[in-house]
Structure 1
Amino acid sequence: MRAAIYVRVSTEDQALRGYSLPEQREACRKKAEELGAVEIIEFADEGVSGATLDRPGLNALLDAAREGRVDVVVCRDLDRLSRRLVHQLLLMDELEKAGVRMVFLDFAWQDTPEGRLFLNIRASIAEYERETIKRRTTRGKLRKAREGGIPISFNVYGYRYDPETGKVSVVEEEAEFVRKMFEWFTTEDIGIVGVAKRLNRMGVPTRKNAPLWKRQVVWQILRNPVFKGEWRYRGVTVPVPAIVDAATWERAQEKLREARRLWANRGRHDYLLSGIITCGHCGKPMHGVYIAWWGKKDRRYSCSKTKECAGYTGCRPPRYVLADRLEQAVWEKVKEVLSDPDALAREAAAMAPQAEGLRRELENVEELLARTEKGREAVLSALASGLCDLDAIAKSKLAELKRRKERLEARKKEIEAALRAAERAAVEAEELRALAKQVLSEMDSFSFEEKRALVRALVAQVIVTGRPKPGNPDKSMEGVNVTVVLRLGETGIAGVISRKE
């Protein structure tokens, strides 16, 4: 018989209960030997809370059980396995399905209705004890906050917190730049990005010594009430030293609200190639920009990030390509592909052998869906029978199972669509030609969404090199080279045509 012993101790267990790994290890090994184990594997988690399932030792134990390397698991107590009833039920159900028997040292348990009842009662008491401690701790933190103390870690730019005294003090070398951020933002015609750019040009260090101030960090500072002297914890306001006055802070909030209103009403411009266009010089993605060129505003693509707070800058000097001309060139390439009978015939031949692989993947996805639904039903059954409460952990587990199911269902639909396209690709070349002609006759009347869908299906990447020659904006594609990489044999021309049939 192959036995596994599982031992766990948290910092709290060591301090309050005197639990130790050596004691658990010795007792569990002795029990495994008494059971007749000829091979004993040890799995341990030290300093890890029993309230979480994500433990290295526990994960390794479950892997060994799934692989059939373990016949029995010996554990000191049910609390060592987990402190939450819903986790205990899930773990024991998984071990049981793997054909592994559980043995606990501190109480005799049998896999009978009575044994399971006793197990659940014992686990419920342990969980009640933990929740009671948690509530007391939370109440203690709230009481400390109401008394003006800081009950949790306090790490805010511009401040220093002393955990021994519980006092918050201002770090003047950082507070100076907090004041400047609010001053620049509220008194100058400058936005959040402008503040970040100025800090970067000045070489101001961040709290974590990051290379750049990011827009999000500046935004968080400008909207945080702690800088006007109000630190908030669970609805309780704790007074701390103010770095800016309340009036300045309120002016910053008004400007932030106004910026959100202006952004919400800002015109949007569609860019057909977003997400698939790359600069052939710097290798960075190109994005749509709406800027003035020779005195006229228009849509363009650029690899250059004008924001100094961005992760990359792209080409220097900035590279801009007129969007209308570039999109028209790619659109003409799509037309050319659809009007080529030989390309359609090659596509039909390439798509046919993919069907079998798609069917195998579909079977795997359907099997995973069934297992996911079974796990979801197990949790719901435990909740319905009163074996566990709908606490945060149970909600998280159900949400995770729901997300997994949604992802699998989405992938199933994608595979089924690809299968239909692959099967449709097996039609005669003459029929494909006829369908292509139908699409070609309608292409120029497509909506933007229809054009984008067709381009995404047929074009894998657009690579742009060169620069527009200076002069008339109408000739701005002169000097620009465009390479269109097609998805032949991958997404499927025939599949696209069949969808438009």
Structure 2
Amino acid sequence: MAQLAIYCRKSQENKDRDSTSIDEQEKEGRIKAKELDLEPLLFIEDTSSGKLDLQDRPVLMDMLQKINAKDSNIKAVFAYDTSRLYRNIETQSKFLAIVKRKNVELYFKSGRFDWTDPHSKLLHNILSATDEFFVDLTSIKIKGTLRSKAEEGKVNGAVLPYGYTKDKNNYLKIDNEESEIVKKIFDDFIDGKTSTEIRNWLIDNDIPTRYNKIGGTNKIIHKGRNETRIYDKANSTWTTGTILQIIRNPIYKGKRRWGDEFFDAPIVVDPITWEKANNSYINRNKGSLRGKSTDHKYLLTPLLQCGCGQSLNGRSNKLENYYGCAGKRYKEKKCNSKYIPVNVLDSIITKLIYGNLYSTVKESFSDNNSDKREELQTRIKSLEADLKNIENNKLSVENYLADRTYNKVQYFRQVKRLDSKANEIKIKKANIEESLKSLKGDTNILREIEELTSIAHSYIDYPFEDTHPDFMKNYTDAVFKGYLALKLPFLERQKTFRKFIKNILVKWKPESKLFEITISYKLPIEDELYLMDSLTLHVVDAKKRQTQWANTIKMEKHRKITIDDVQVRLQNYAL
């Protein structure tokens, strides 16, 4: 049945202490409801000032949210007089905008509100120029609803923490089977087991994860490599991160976190057990709540990727620092890649990049790139066509707004989506245009690359400078450009690598006992492929079959191995 919202408020201002009582306001409202043949719906706000903003008047906000709802049955609003509803211009304008937009009639004891009044129309039109308030109104309602559910102990649609489920009334309750797993995780952690050991036990015993049960897909974005992957949740496995999240989540000791607040929740482990586990975690990580800290800086993360698809991360043991596949922590990944010492791979990549980048880019400026230029020009034309289509779509959206197919919320949402898509296309277009500019012979990038190694000169004392200025400097720069770059500070090399390199793929080939290293650039040049033996002694350019790096000092320790032997083996593989 259609309803009349009756708003009653007892003012807290001194001059209103003797004003009309709540009972009198309600009585007048019910008379109006009977007169209009509408069902009365009461909204009573005790002792509140009409000068307050809307967000400080919860009952008035609740009434407006109910009016603004899609399935609202409220057809009219009654208040004893205007002072009951508002006493500041901002509240008045917002209130009138809502009721006007929803075609809700407004009544006072003195009579029906006159929408033809120029002042009222102006207020309404000013606010109607933007949908910001309507979005805020919905947002406040949703946040308030979710918080109320959390306070009452109900679930709110999010993925439930492992160990919990819900009853038929949506109240959070303990999952008997999963809670036993949670208790074991806490007990094992307190007993000294690592998160990896606990994780492996869960996998060995086929304990399903939360995602195994709910299914669906999950998208992971790797910003360092500009890569997005889609995973099937049904195939997800336990991770050490999940174990630590369980350990650190206070819900298991009965404190459900909601923003900055905590609400009571069913207890899975007693608070003492929870504190013991978390103290153990902090002690293991030297007081850090973010995990184990590392003293070594790893130059190539996050550029490195293993052939199995996982990242190659920096690690350390008592003997050395090395790069290892993240998947090796998880036995079900079955990654058979070998570790590579950090100093070896850092040196190799530094030598290859600084030693070859200038000549490689210069070669790309030659006239042999007509096909590449044509391809880039075709892509630019395609992106320009996409931009034109977006502009046409924006015109259509404006027409939808004009003929009221879209309301303003829908209009702004569509415009925002189209603008975001257009921005992505413009960025792609700018990147391709930069690549095309390089291929046409812009020497700025060449000059920049050439100057990279010159920075190292400030860190080296060259002999004969008094008698032969710059002689040794130029000789070193020309002959040992890659080795010279090893003298560069860590941050200088890291900045260069992240500016020019998109990805470094390292594949271990067990059948041949060698590594394949593929370097992909952010520049319009082809990927480079290098081969390295299993002992990390020698590197060959697979395309040119030329030696690029050799560890002669390490080879001296292997009497049966010579540079020629390793070089021939790698070159033969390249053939």
TM-score, normalisation: structure 1: 0.50
Q: Which has the larger radius of gyration?
A: 2
The higher-RCO structure (CA 8 Å, 6+ apart) is: 1
Q: TM-score, normalised on structure 2?
A: 0.44
